[in-house]
Amino acid sequence: MDQDTDKNLEFTNKLKLFFIKQKIKIILIFFTFVLISIIFLAMKIFQERENISISEKFIKANIYLSSENKDKSKELYEEIIKSKNKFYSILALNTILEKGLENNEDVIINYFDTLKDLSIPSEQKDLLIFKKALYLIQISKTEEGEGLLRKLSNSDSYLKNISDQILEN
C-alpha cells in the first residue's frame, strides 16, 4: 500500500514537473487554438452578413423591377452577379435573361463567364452551361452553342438527353 502511494506521488510529481517545464508551449498551444476558433467564427459571421446583404439587394432589385424601375434593378442584379454568391448570382442572371434587362450580348456572355467559376455542384454548373448554350443559339452564335451542348452530351450530365435532342434538331 505504501508502495502504491509512493508511485502515485511520483507520478503526480512527474506530471507537475512536466507542466512546469512545458508551461510556455501549453499556453501557446491553448492561445493558438483560441485564436483559430475566433478567426473561424469571425469569418462565419462575416459570410452570413454578406449573404444577408446580397439577399436584401436581390429583394430590392425585385421591388424595383416590379415598380418598372428597370435600370436600378439591373444595376443591383449586376452587383449580385459580380459578388459571385452561389445562390443569388445565378438567380440574378436568370432574372436578367427572363425580363430582358440587358440587351448587350457580350455583357450577358460575360455574366455567364463570371458565374462558371463558382464552386457550385456539377448539376448547377451543367444547367448554367446549358442556359449559356441556349442563349448563344438564340443570338445566332450557333456553333458556340452547339459546342457547349456537345460538351454536355459527351459528359455524364443529367442534361445529356436534352442536349442530344437539341443537337439532332
Higher-confidence position of 112 and 17: 112
**How many domains does the chain fold into?**
1
Q: What is the pLDDT of residue 5?
A: 65
Question: Is 146 domain-assigned?
Answer: no
Predicted confidence band of residue 109 (pLDDT cuts 50, 70, 90): very high
Q: What is the pLDDT of residue 33?
A: 96
Question: Is 51 domain-assigned?
Answer: yes
Separation between Cα atoms, residue 85 and residue 62, nearest integer Å: 17
Range of the domain at 38: 2-120
Question: Is 140 domain-assigned?
Answer: no
Q: How far are the Cα atoms of 32, 52, 62, 63, 76 from residue 57, in angstroms, in the given order?
A: 37, 9, 9, 10, 6
pLDDT at position 111 over 90: yes
Separation between Cα atoms, residue 133 and residue 146, nearest integer Å: 7
Residue pLDDT, tens place only, 54-106: 999 999 999 999 999 999 999 999 999 999 999 999 999 999 999 999 999 99
